[in-house]
Structure 1
Amino acid sequence: MTESFDAIVVGAGQAGPSLAGRLTKAGMQVAIIERKLFGGTCVNTGCMPTKTLVASAYAAHLARRSADFGVSIESPIAIDMKRVRARADTVSTNARTNVETWLRGMDGLTVIEGHARFESPDTIRVDDRVLQAPRIFLNVGGRASIPDMPGVGTVSYLTNTSILQLDMLPRHLVVVGGSYIGLEFAQMYRRFGAQVTIVERGPRLIAREDEDVSEAIRDILAGEGIAVRTNATCIGFKPHADGVAVDVDCTSGDPFVVGSHVLLAVGRRPNTDDLDLDRAGVAVDARGTIIVDDTLATSVPGIWALGDCNGRGAFTHTAYNDYEIVAANLLDGASRRVSDRLPGYALYIDPPLGRVGMTEMEARRTGRPLLVSKRPMTRVGRAIEKDETKGFMKIVADADTKKILGAAILGTGGDEAIHGILDMMNAGADYPTLQWAVPIHPTVSELIPTVLGDLTPAA
């Protein structure tokens, strides 16, 4: 017997539950399907547990530096990895329970646990239940990508998910992948006391950022004793008596590095390969990403894709904004579009990197006349007082329109201070408007007007 609903939401990640809430409030009968853990990546294997671990690692780092602040703590600092993991587990469990409790108590919502598969464009099967609805929303998230690198099937390795289960300290963690996920785990485990090596195929870390940002981050990590091997042209794996031998380079330097543990942090892939999307006619690209238009509609009328599975953003906040776009267009008569979204994100090493808009490199490619300004964090009073002066601020603006095109704040509080610039860009204000703001002292944000005042034509 087929069960009929006004809408079906597949996946209880960041976008799905909120969308279910809006749809049910509009009087719809809705089914939400979750096959594993309520809350999705952010709650279970992403932001919440990892940033909890980052906080524990920061506490260890600060404790080791206590003498710099005139505070005496017995040395050496002891790390209780079982307690560290338990703390992260508690944060995730509480958040997951809250999401599930909210959904199960929602009027008009049927919560179904199981694996959803399409049978037709408007019909989904979950085990022995058949559900039908004129509107279907896919919020199925993503997982770690495991490329077919030489020897990868012959060794044990960790992903961003499985590493969260560690309750012991690796002797030597080799992180394969020099981008956002890999760098966060590299620094936190170094601060917990492990030897750490980062292996990156490209010529520099986080290649999508400007070169000065990449180099500054490399210096920060190297300064904490993390080995960084870029231009790793021959990455491969072999079992070793001491763990795993990771082939690094065929031409120069030590040809391999031996780690007790290996973390593969080389990208993500969408969870779309077992939904039977072909039965619904939903188009995907070569990576399995669901193809959507500017309103997040798929190739099939009545089916939308939100969050990591649609390739239009890989962050919790972009997934939530996907929900906002879909809900506004369907329920509020709006015409919101993904292309109106201002890109912003952060890298949660310490100090963090806050980013919004274009990089300087991207802005230069547009060919427009640019203004650029850059100031080191050594000029920020708040950073000096905290003795956390690594990094810099950089702002890029259009010389003709006076609009800010992008900014990077690599420094203490950079993930928060960037919002002053993000908000002004979102409002469409020109940079002199922000330049004449009067920020609070002492804060990191107070240097932003000064940086704007120093904008000069790009060389």
Structure 2
Amino acid sequence: MQHYDAIVIGSGQAGTPLSKKLANSGLKTALIEKRWVGGTCVNDGCSPTKAMIASAKAVWVSENSARLGVLVEHAHVDFPSIIKRKNEIVTRMRENSEKGILETENLDLIYGTAAFSGMKQVTVQLQSGEEQVLTADRIYINTGLKPEVPDIPGIRDIEFLTSTSIMELDTVPEHLLILGSGYIGLEFGQMFRRFGSKVTVIEPSARILKHEEEDIAQNIADILSLEHIDILVKTEVMSLARQGGLICATLHSDGSTREVQCTHVLVAAGREPQTPALNLEMTGVKTDEKGYITVNDQLETSTEGIYALGDVKGGPAFTHIAFDDYRIIYENMDKPGSRSVQDRPVPYCMFIDPQLGRVGITETEAKEKGMDVKVAVLKNESVARSIETGDERGMMKAVVDAYTGQILGASILAEQGGEIVTILQMAMMGGITYDQIMNSVFAHPTYAESLNNLFSTLEK
């Protein structure tokens, strides 16, 4: 049994910087990782998917360049090269992260699967097959999420894909059936459609992206439809079965059933916490009904000295939120109560094309709260930069307080939508009102300049 000052379970985007910071402060720290350093973001999520999305965007640009007077013959997709590039990026990022950990004094990197075997005791099943028992005064859980598999008859018999395994394919699927129309489903759907797959998206709800503005979601659906992606809303998969070299999906919609044949099925119906294997009952750490670890505003669990960071605690499942969790934990060590999860902005970007950048509340949320707001809307067909670059898809939308002029939220569906919405987030953080942005001088012609015109719609 070996005692540490601190144990961090999981080397994701919260666990890695936290473990290094703890060690650099003089605390003897153990960082336990069951697979690869970097967590989902580096290995299975942000970095690899965005690398592949960049390749898919290159296909779209080449096939839509005629409007710019550039004639290109049909783009040839070298899928093995796309996967090779993606793998090289992942390896580089993972190795750099691991190198930084190994070079940190007071920090031990332990590869294995951790489970609690006592209140402040962790037993690690090492990759070598041996066991190692660790104890610590402080323990930080950063184990993240894994794909959730819906209970559909036959699904375990078809070798379905997840957001992890789909990136290891060596050929492009002929027909990809996607269960779920959230960020993962739509990003992969558009990506593989551009690589040459036929794509069908199944969504049980009345529309895609039910947490987004309805007009934004409809605009996205229209854009994806232009790329010949079939989106079936109010549709449920009743069963899946292997039929020779194909998969047969029985679908139910509007009181009737039909069958659709495909070559591959991607499960993108949500993610779930990896808490069952942690043996949390040994610690008194409580979870909610879905298995997420419950924490207070300073991210401490129901057991003193044990904390949870990132996706495993529920809430917004974004890398930048996990990283901010690390900052909250560390800053509160020096100045207790100085930081909390309350009132922090939660920006995010969905990397479909065009991107959807989001921050703050939506028009629907504002009305549900009884707030008096004004809503600015601008279609990109009226944006000079969009016209000049030949991509007028999408729209911009912002919600402002009718009395104070403060910006309350924004949805930017546009080329570089994630960058544009960041400008509005900074305005929100600094208390800058919409009319100040409307009257600001921005470089011409830029996407940022379109914010002048967006807020000018409120003056008409």
Q: What TM-score bracket applies, with the shorter chain setting the length?
A: over 0.9
* 2:113 counterpart of 1:115: yes
Contact 1:371 1:456 in 2 (8 A): no
* 2:320 counterpart of 1:310: no
The structure that is strand-richer by fraction is: 2
User: Which residue does 1:102 correspond to in 2?
Assistant: 100
Aligned length: 455
Deviation, structure 1 residue 222: 0.5
User: Which residue does 1:36 correspond to in 2?
Assistant: 35
User: Which residue does 1:364 correspond to in 2?
Assistant: 367
Deviation, structure 1 residue 435: 2.7
* 2:386 counterpart of 1:387: no
Query: Matches of 1:397 and 1:168 in 2, distance apart?
Result: 47
1:165-204 matches, cutoff 5 A: 165-204=168-207
Deviation, structure 1 residue 40: 0.2
Identity %: 39
Deviation, structure 1 residue 362: 0.7
Contact 2:237 2:249 in 1 (8 A): no
Deviation, structure 1 residue 150: 2.4
Deviation, structure 1 residue 369: 0.8
* 2:85 counterpart of 1:87: yes
Contact 1:373 1:456 in 2 (8 A): no
Query: Matches of 2:25 and 2:263 in 1, distance apart?
Result: 54
User: Which residue does 2:49 correspond to in 1?
Assistant: 50
Query: Matches of 2:9 and 2:317 in 1, distance apart?
Result: 18
* SS class of match (1:21): helix
Q: What do residues 204-230 of structure 1 show as CA deviations (whole Å, max 9, x unaligned)?
A: 111111110111010000000111111
User: Which residue does 2:65 correspond to in 1?
Assistant: 66
User: Which residue does 1:450 correspond to in 2?
Assistant: 453
* 2:314 counterpart of 1:319: no
Deviation, structure 1 residue 332: 4.1
How much is the aligned-residue C-alpha RMSD, in angstroms?
A: 1.5
Query: Matches of 1:106 and 1:324 in 2, distance apart?
Result: 18
* 2:162 counterpart of 1:159: yes
* SS class of match (1:245): strand
Query: Matches of 2:242 and 2:83 in 1, distance apart?
Result: 27
* SS class of match (1:274): helix
Q: What do residues 421-448 of structure 1 show as CA deviations (whole Å, max 9, x unaligned)?
A: 0111122333233333222211111111
Query: Matches of 1:72 and 1:190 in 2, distance apart?
Result: 21
User: Cα gap change, 1:333/1:285 in structure 2, threshold over 3 Å: closer, same or farther?
Assistant: closer
Contact 1:229 1:248 in 2 (8 A): no
**Which residue identity lines up with residue 354 of structure 2 in the other structure?**
P
TM-score by length of 2: 0.96
Deviation, structure 1 residue 159: 0.4
* SS class of match (1:88): helix
Deviation, structure 1 residue 455: 2.3
Contact 2:114 2:123 in 1 (8 A): yes
**Which residue identity lines up with residue 380 of structure 1 in the other structure?**
V
* SS class of match (1:83): helix
User: Which residue does 1:78 correspond to in 2?
Assistant: 76
User: Cα gap change, 1:241/1:251 in structure 2, threshold over 3 Å: closer, same or farther?
Assistant: farther
Q: What do residues 236-269 of structure 1 show as CA deviations (whole Å, max 9, x unaligned)?
A: 3122234111222243677222110110100001
* SS class of match (1:28): coil
Query: Matches of 2:269 and 2:228 in 1, distance apart?
Result: 22
Query: Matches of 1:169 and 1:60 in 2, distance apart?
Result: 14
* 2:435 counterpart of 1:432: yes
* SS class of match (2:7): strand
* SS class of match (2:26): coil
Of residues 289, 296, 300, the one that matches 1:297 is 300
User: Cα gap change, 1:15/1:452 in structure 2, threshold over 3 Å: closer, same or farther?
Assistant: same
* SS class of match (1:43): helix
Query: Matches of 1:170 and 1:68 in 2, distance apart?
Result: 29
Of residues 139, 142, 146, the one that matches 1:143 is 146
* SS class of match (2:276): coil
User: Which residue does 2:128 correspond to in 1?
Assistant: none
Structure 1 runs (4+) greater than 3 angstroms displaced: 250-254
Q: What do residues 248-301 of structure 1 show as CA deviations (whole Å, max 9, x unaligned)?
A: 224367722211011010000111110111101110112111111111111100
User: Cα gap change, 1:67/1:451 in structure 2, threshold over 3 Å: closer, same or farther?
Assistant: closer
Query: Matches of 1:227 and 1:430 in 2, distance apart?
Result: 41
Moved more, 131-140 or 444-453: 444-453
User: Which residue does 1:377 correspond to in 2?
Assistant: 380
Gaps of 5+ in 1: none
**Which residue identity lines up with residue 9 of structure 2 in the other structure?**
V
Contact 1:376 1:392 in 2 (8 A): yes
Deviation, structure 1 residue 121: 2.2
* 2:426 counterpart of 1:423: yes
Contact 1:242 1:259 in 2 (8 A): no
**Which residue identity lines up with residue 391 of structure 1 in the other structure?**
G
Contact 2:360 2:408 in 1 (8 A): yes
Contact 1:24 1:109 in 2 (8 A): yes
Query: Matches of 1:179 and 1:445 in 2, distance apart?
Result: 27
Contact 2:346 2:359 in 1 (8 A): yes
Gaps of 5+ in 2: 126-130
Q: What do residues 308-331 of structure 1 show as CA deviations (whole Å, max 9, x unaligned)?
A: 101022011000011011111113
* SS class of match (1:150): coil
User: Which residue does 2:124 correspond to in 1?
Assistant: 126
Contact 1:295 1:326 in 2 (8 A): yes
